[in-house]
A and B are shown apart, each in its own frame.
Chain A
Amino acid sequence: MTLIVALSCTAALFAAAIVSVIIGRAAVANTLIYGLCAAAALISLFAALKFLLGAAPAQSMVLPLGIPWLGSHFRIDALSAFFLAVVDLGAVTASVFAIGYGRHEDAPMRVRPFYPAFLAGMMLVVMADDAFTFLFSWEFMSLTSWALVMAHHRVRENVYAGYVYLVMASFGTLALLLAFGLLSGPDGLYTFAQIHAVHPAAGLAALVLILALIGAGSKAGLVPLHVWLPLAHPAAPSHVSALMSGVMTKVAVYGFVRIAFDLMGEPAWWWSMVVLALGGVTAAMGVLYALMQHDLKRLLAYHTVENIGIIFIGLGLALAFKAHGMTFAAALALTAGLLHVFNHSIFKSLLFFGSGAVLTATGERDMEHLGGLIHRMPQTTFVFLVGCVAISALPPLNGFVSEWLTFQAILLSPQLPSWGLKLLVPAVGALLALSAALAAACFVKAFGVTFLGRPRTPAAERASETDQWSLAAMYFLAALCLVAGVLPGLFIDALAPLADLLVGGRMPVQAGEQWLSIVPIAAGRSSYDGLLVFLFMVISGTLAAVAIHRLASDRLRRAPAWDCGYPDPSPATQYTASSFAQPIRRVFGTVLFHAREHVEMPPPGDMRPARLVVDLRDPIWDALYAPIAGAVGIVADRLNYLQFLTIRQFLSLVFAALVILLLVLAIWP
Chain B
Amino acid sequence: MLLVLSLAPLLTGFVRKVKARFLRRQGPPLLQPYLDLARLMRKEVVLADNASWLFRVIPYLIFAATWVAASLVPTFRTGLLFSWAADLIVIIALLGNARFFQALAGLDVGTSFGGIGSSREVMIASLAEPAMIMIVFTLALISGSTQLSTIAEFMNSPAVGLRVSLGLALFALIMVAIAENGRIPVDNPATHLELTMVHEAMVLEYSGRHLALIELSASLKLILYVSLIGCLFVPWGLQPAGAGAEQIAIGIAAYIGKLAAGGFLLALFETSIAKMRVFRVPEFLGAALMLGLLATLLRFVSGSF
Contact = CB atoms under 8 A, between A and B. Distances in A.
Contacts of A436: 129-130, 133
B107 A575 contact: yes
A125 to B, nearest CB: 35
A526 B85 contact: no
B299 A414 contact: yes
Contacts of A517: 84-85
Contacts of B50: 372, 375, 454, 561
23 contacts: A374-B108, A381-B54, A407-B133, A414-B303, A427-B293, A433-B133, A440-B100, A444-B118, A452-B110, A528-B85, A532-B85, A533-B68, A536-B68, A538-B64, A540-B63, A559-B49, A562-B46, A564-B192, A564-B193, A573-B112, A574-B115, A580-B118, A583-B120
Interface in A486-540: 515, 517, 523-529, 532-533, 536-538, 540
Contact of A540 (B68, B209, B289): B68
Most chain A CB inside 10 Å of its own CB: which residue of B65, B84, B110:
B110
Given A374-B54, A454-B50, A537-B64, A553 B90 contact: no
A558 B49 contact: yes
Interface string A391-424: 0111100001000100110110110000000110
Contacts of B94: 395, 533
Interface string B262-291: 000000000000000011001000000100
Most chain-B Cβ atoms within 10 A of its Cβ — which of A378, A395, A408, A427?
Answer: A395
A557 B208 CA distance: 11
Given A407-B89, A529-B86, A556-B44, A544 B63 contact: yes
A562 B42 contact: no
- Considering the complex of A and B, which 7 residue pairs feature the smallest CB-CB distances, nearest first? A575-B115, A453-B110, A448-B107, A541-B64, A441-B122, A552-B41, A583-B123
A560 interface: yes
A62 interface: no
B67 A540 contact: yes
B96 interface: yes
B204 A563 contact: yes
A525 B146 contact: yes
A454 B300 CA distance: 50
A447 B97 CA distance: 15
Interface in B39-54: 41-50, 52-54
B49 A544 contact: no
A557 B93 contact: no
Contacts of B146: 407-408, 411, 525-526
Nearest to B99: A440
A560 B50 CA distance: 8
Given A411-B140, A583-B123, A559 B46 contact: yes
Contacts of A528: 85-87, 90
Interface of B: 41-50, 52-54, 60-61, 63-65, 67-68, 82, 84-87, 89-90, 93-94, 96-97, 99-100, 103-104, 106-116, 118-120, 122-123, 125-130, 133-134, 137, 140-141, 144-147, 150, 192-193, 204-205, 208-209, 212-213, 278-279, 282, 289, 292-293, 296-297, 299-301, 303
A149 interface: no
Given A560-B49, A587-B282, A441 B68 contact: no
A344 B89 CA distance: 20
A591 B138 CA distance: 29
Interface of A, secondary structure class, is helix
B45 A555 contact: yes
Contacts of B301: 422-423
A581 interface: yes
Contact of A454 (B65, B82, B110): B110
Q: Is the interface of B mostly helix, strand, loop or mixed?
A: helix
Contacts of A300: none
Nearest to A522: B145
Contact of A378 (B53, B115, B137, B140): B53
Most A CB atoms within 10 A — which of B61, B86, B205, B213? B86
Given A385-B54, A555-B44, A526 B107 contact: no
B60 A541 contact: yes
Interface in A569-586: 571, 573-575, 579-584, 586
A438 interface: yes
Interface of A: 371-372, 374-375, 378, 381, 385, 389, 392-395, 400, 404, 407-408, 410-411, 413-414, 422-423, 425-427, 429-430, 433-434, 436-438, 440-441, 443-445, 447-449, 452-454, 515, 517, 523-529, 532-533, 536-538, 540-541, 544-545, 548, 551-565, 567-568, 571, 573-575, 579-584, 586-587
Contacts of A556: 44-45, 47
Nearest to A585: B123
Contacts of A544: 60, 63-64, 67, 213
Given A452-B108, A454-B50, A583-B123, 20 more contacts: A374-B54, A411-B140, A414-B141, A425-B300, A430-B292, A430-B296, A434-B126, A437-B126, A448-B118, A526-B140, A526-B146, A537-B65, A555-B44, A556-B47, A561-B48, A561-B110, A575-B118, A579-B119, A587-B123, A587-B127
A12 to B, nearest CB: 42
A553 B44 CA distance: 6
A393 B114 CA distance: 24
Contact of B84 (A449, A527, A557): A527
B11 to A, nearest CB: 20
Given A414-B141, A524-B145, A557-B46, A426 B296 contact: yes
B93 A553 contact: no
A577 to B, nearest CB: 10
Contacts of B141: 411, 414
B133 to A, nearest CB: 4
A553 B112 contact: no
B63 to A, nearest CB: 5
B101 to A, nearest CB: 9
Nearest to A567: B111
Contact of A525 (B54, B109, B147, B212): B147
Given A394-B100, A436-B129, A564 B134 contact: no
A571 B115 CA distance: 12
A370 B19 CA distance: 45
Contacts of A441: 122-123, 125-126
Given A414-B141, A553-B209, A574 B147 contact: no
B93 A426 contact: no
B6 to A, nearest CB: 14
Contacts of A523: 84
B110 to A, nearest CB: 3
A440 B122 contact: yes
A392 B101 CA distance: 12
Nearest to A373: B52
Contacts of A583: 119-120, 122-123, 278-279
Contacts of A410: 137
Contacts of A423: 297, 300-301
A579 B123 CA distance: 12
Contact of A533 (B53, B86, B147, B208): B86
B116 to A, nearest CB: 7
Contacts of A453: 107-110
B110 A557 contact: no
B28 to A, nearest CB: 22
Nearest to B138: A426
Contacts of A408: 146
Contacts of A537: 61, 64-65, 68
Contacts of A400: 90, 93
